[in-house]
Structure 1
């Protein structure tokens, strides 16, 4: 089964079973809604524990969650430093607007210039607030490609290929 990260459990919060989550999804409103089911992976564990969100609130830069039936710190402590994930079946393209993609669709794509020169492959995506920046690992170094219309000209997630316009100073 293919899993996709939506949050990292960084710590517990209080003694009533709340966990402090650092979100890794653009769709927090859908992923962390009360009643939603997530797969909770303990640190270094390959088998998930399915949990249902009972409550959600924001606290500073974190999301605080409680899970149904886990109202004690001792029950959620084992999940500390673990991950919250969803399956591909739980992901919906309806969440995406035009020219938006899931991170897993972009990471791994090869990046080429309009002239056909291979630049590298997308290995990570940085969220800057203004626009995403793709980390592209080339043969000799990493390049940082902003996801903006002036640069990214074509994305084919089926072929795992991205065509960019190389502006002066970009590489």
Structure 2
């Protein structure tokens, strides 16, 4: 399991006073209001910043970090990920998982056949879709529904699925 979770990506500066526009990658952008500190990840560097203020504009979150008071202080933050520690994460319901925890899991059928590794999770309107990279480099798309997902063991690094008829073709 990962220790940090991405909740957004800084897209640009906002105004002249050190604010940035953040594209939220969380299901609940309102959670930014409760954040006191975040980590900004650029390359391999992670720097902790205190959140001074948060407001919302259209689909974006406008964030001001304490001590970054001029546009020059934040210009280099474009395309930087905004991370939170796992203890700051939104509590999950039973059977829910963070996408970051599902990536790279081995995906097997109920019969034990290894289908491949979890490459991505597509978020669609109706339900998420698991993208499994198969051994031969292809992709298998599996709907993230209870009928298909039979079990997830994060400790063992395995997801067990039931393939509905027609999914393999």
Above 0.5 in TM-score?
A: yes
TM-score range normalised by the length of the shorter chain: 0.7 to 0.9
Aligned to 2:132: 136
What do residues 2-38 of structure 1 show as CA deviations (whole Å, max 9, x unaligned)? 43322111111121221111122234333x1255200
1:161 aligns with 2:158: yes
Q: Give how far 1:73 is off.
A: 1.0
Q: Give how far 1:165 is off.
A: 1.1
**Counterparts of 1:115 and 1:6, CA distance in 2:** 36
Q: Give how far 1:110 is off.
A: 1.0
**Counterparts of 1:160 and 1:134, CA distance in 2:** 15
Is the partner of 2:33 in helix, strand or coil? coil
Instruction: Report matched runs for 1:89-104 at 5 Å.
Output: 89-91=87-89, 95-104=91-100
Is the partner of 1:33 in helix, strand or coil? helix
Q: How many residues get paired? A: 166
Query: Conserved in 2, the CA contact under 8 Å of 1:35 and 1:54?
Result: no
The root-mean-square deviation of aligned C-alpha atoms, in Å, is 2.0
**Counterparts of 1:35 and 1:148, CA distance in 2:** 31
Aligned to 2:41: 41
Aligned to 2:123: 127
Aligned to 2:167: 170
Gaps of 5+ in 2: none
